[in-house]
Structure formats: C-alpha cells, structure tokens
C-alpha cells in the first residue's frame, strides 16, 4: 500500500487507536499548555556541549547534520576538523554555498596511522585545539563544531 503524506485520507488500521478525535484534541491541548509553561521559564541563553563518541561511523555525520540544521536556522557556524588538513575535505565544498555564514577549518596533517610520528602528531594537534578554543571565545559564531577532536584529547594536550 502506498501512502501519500499530503493526503487527508484515514490512517492505516495499525495506526489507529481507541482515542476519539475530541479526546486527542484535549490531550494535545493539555500537552501544549505544559510545553508553553516550560518554554516561558527558559529565558536565559546558555551554552551546550554535545559529544558524539563510539566506535564506527556516524559521529562526524551527526555533527555535520547539526551544522546543516544550524545553517538552515540562519546561525553563523564554525567547523574545525582536527585530522583532515592533509587534503581538502568534501564537506568543506558541500558547505561552500553558505558563504560567510560558515567558516570551515581543516587542520592537521592527516590520519595518525599514516604519519606514524606521535610527537609530530601531538604538535600538529595543539594548533587546531588552540584555534578551536579561540573560535569558542568569538561571539560572532552561534555554533562551533569540532570533528576528529577526541584523539588529541586522549593525548591530554
């Protein structure tokens, strides 16, 4: 069965419930009142740090998805990639249409398993770390994103 997301047709049987339309409306009205009360108390702007960790793929993708949403909301964004300075990352080209709304910094010399020089890798990771801290301090950005930053952090630098 193909559903048209723009159709006003009834929901498939497995998506219906015993809740009448009126009871649903009342439930959603109560939910809206609670949500409106919560939002009314949230007057102070504060920072938020989100760290994506774990083995495998998806951490940078998640972060760049948040960058895309931020750009869509008109925020000014800075990205620092700690490892990918040895080449121009495709992500940088993909974000180019946003122009001055985004700054993209790919720093470092590449993956550490390629360089195989721990002391040099540490030195090359310090500069992006300092640059990233500098970006956090600049009030011009609404959001700063760093990718591949956990490896330098694990070196306790």
The answer to whether residue 157 scores a pLDDT higher than 50 is no
Q: Is there a contact between 52 and 63 (Cβ–Cβ < 8 Å)?
A: yes
Domains in the chain and their CATH numbers?
Answer: 59-154 (3.40.50.300)
Query: Pseudo-torsion of CA 2, 65, 96, 136, nearest 10°?
Result: 160
Q: Is the model's pLDDT at 72 over the cut of 90?
A: yes
pLDDT-based confidence at 84, cuts 50/70/90? Answer: low
114: confidence class by pLDDT, cuts 50, 70, 90 = confident
Cβ contact 67:87 at 8 Å: no
């Amino acid at each position: 069965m193909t559903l048209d997301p723009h159709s006003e047709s009834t929901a498939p049987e497995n998506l219906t419930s015993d809740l009448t339309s009126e009871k649903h409306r009342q439930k959603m009205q109560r939910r809206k009142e609670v949500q409106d009360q919560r939002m009314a108390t949230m007057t102070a702007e504060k920072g938020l740090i989100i760290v994506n960790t774990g083995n495998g793929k998806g951490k940078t993708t998640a972060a760049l998805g948040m960058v895309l949403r931020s750009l869509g909301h008109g925020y000014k964004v800075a990205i620092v990639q700690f490892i990918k300075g040895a080449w121009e990352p495709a992500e940088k080209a993909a974000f180019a249409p946003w122009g001055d709304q985004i700054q993209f910094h790919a720093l470092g010399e590449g993956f550490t398993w390629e360089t195989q020089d721990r002391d040099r890798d540490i030195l090359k990771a310090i500069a992006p770390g300092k640059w990233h801290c500098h970006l956090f301090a600049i009030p011009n950005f609404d959001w700063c994103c760093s990718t591949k930053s956990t490896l330098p952090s694990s070196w306790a630098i």
